[in-house]
Amino acid sequence: MHLDIKEITTVSLVLFAIIDILGSVPVILDIKSKVGHVDAKYATLVSGFIMILFLFGGKQILKIIGIDVASFSLAGSIVIFLVGLEMTLNRDIFKSGNSTVKSSSVVPIAFPMIAGAGTLTTLLSLRSEYEVITIMIGILINLIIIYAVIRFIPKIEQILGDTGINILRKVFGVILLSISIKLFSKNLALLFHF
């Protein structure tokens, strides 16, 4: 077994860019304002479990269900679009009436924000280029960062204040809409071979 620091760094940075946990701060703050608390440990463990499961059996899982990667990514882009719309327009699309801390930590935080279509398809791509141990270390490094960001959300909230959070919420809502449209159009082209 050979560990290459350069490869581990590359994989970690690719995953960090795709997961974009810092960009998800306004979404996490928004969910926290609805349910009162986001369970950092639970969200991190569930997203880690989804990523590792997909790393080892992603293509097979999708094949068993009868879904191709492009369709899976399209579905993820629609969920991201709805979250972005909710943030931009200040309207509740995902009703939070029966949401618990644990369920809100899973949807939409663990999936599709952290371990979403982009992350999972990236893992499939990385698998063809790098050793599994290298990707596992990259996932672990990102899970530590994810846990730290979600864990210190109250401090981030304190620093930003209500006005700062509202501004970030709108800005990142538009960014999420843009990402979802890009994901949607790219995967629609793949699906229909444009």
Average pLDDT over residues 140-153: 94
Nearest to 177 by CA among 102, 105, 79: 79
The pLDDT value recorded for residue 33 is 81
DSSP 115: S
- Other Cβ atoms closer than 10 A to 191: 14
Average pLDDT over residues 39-59: 92
- Using alpha carbons only, what angle is made at residue 183 by residues 167 and 131, rounded to the nearest 5 degrees? 110
In the predicted model, what is the mean pLDDT of the chain?
83
DSSP 129: T
Share of the chain above pLDDT 70, in %: 93
Q: Look up the pTM and report it.
A: 0.72
Range picked from 41-55, 100-114, 167-181 for highest mean pLDDT: 41-55
Range picked from 16-20, 34-38, 62-66, 177-181 for highest mean pLDDT: 62-66
Using the predicted structure, report yes or no on whether residue 38 has a pLDDT greater than 60. yes
User: How many residues belong to the chain?
Assistant: 194
Using the predicted structure, report yes or no on whether residue 50 has a pLDDT greater than 60. yes
pLDDT digits over 98-137, tens only?
556 677 778 778 887 888 877 887 888 788 788 999 999 9
The pLDDT value recorded for residue 67 is 85
pLDDT digits over 87-109, tens only?
788 776 655 555 566 777 787 78
